[in-house]
A and B are shown apart, each in its own frame.
Chain A
Amino acid sequence: DVKVTQSSRYLVKRTGEKVFLECVQDMDHENMFWYRQDPGLGLRLIYFSYDVKMKEKGDIPEGYSVSREKKERFSLILESASTNQTSMYLCASSFGGGFYPYGYTFGSGTRLTVV
């Protein structure tokens, strides 16, 4: 069964801490994405990557960075966590590009609370 695995389901961190959210996929997908989901705002794209060592900003990249050193792993980094980054974070991956991307697979989410 193909999978996108996020390292933690629940995480509590203190304001100012550096936080790493890890995402691993086993489908040899080219594309990987980090979203956050907030009540009333839906899913919003933070960063995405189409290839190893490649990254592009999404709609809300401020306060975040990413790393993709290997094809299967895409990390989201909160350089200095703040309470407004308390949210559900979802990782996804997909195969293909151009006009025919398909096979979106989502992870089970990480609910991050910053106190």
Chain B
Amino acid sequence: KNEVEQSPQNLTAQEGEFITINCSYSVGISALHWLQQHPGGGIVSLFMLSSGKKKHGRLIATINIQEKHSSLHITASHPRDSAVYICAVISGSARQLTFGSGTQLTVLP
């Protein structure tokens, strides 16, 4: 069983919709990252969370440590939000990330 599970794998939305991507993990963690990968490959770190909630523009990330669950929300989605969103965790004293399989988001105009 994968240590980091994301859902859904694929998501298609209409412009303006509110979007939620979920991430569950099975290990104790010290931090969780939400990453964005556009076609062409480069990855951008959107958030790093160890508790609570963070907001940046239209993006909101939350984490519930007790439930081992995190969500990424996009408000007022736009076609330029189309990308793969990847959840990744850092567990224990390890410094490397363990990745979810990613969510392909397509926002239609």
Contact = CB atoms under 8 A, between A and B. Distances in A.
A107 B40 CA distance: 12
Given A31-B95, A101-B90, A90 B43 contact: yes
B27 interface: no
Nearest to B44: A106
A43 B101 CA distance: 8
A106 B45 contact: yes
Contacts of B35: 106
Question: Helix, strand, loop or mixed for chain A's interface?
Answer: strand
Interface residues of A, number: 28
Interface residues of B, number: 23
Contacts of A42: 86, 99-102
A31 to B, nearest CB: 5
Nearest to A100: B30
A42 B99 CA distance: 7
Interface of A: 31, 33, 37, 42-43, 45, 48, 50, 58, 88, 90, 92, 94, 96-109, 111
Given A50-B95, A102-B48, A109-B43, 12 more contacts: A31-B95, A45-B97, A48-B96, A92-B43, A97-B95, A99-B30, A99-B93, A103-B48, A104-B33, A104-B48, A106-B43, A109-B40
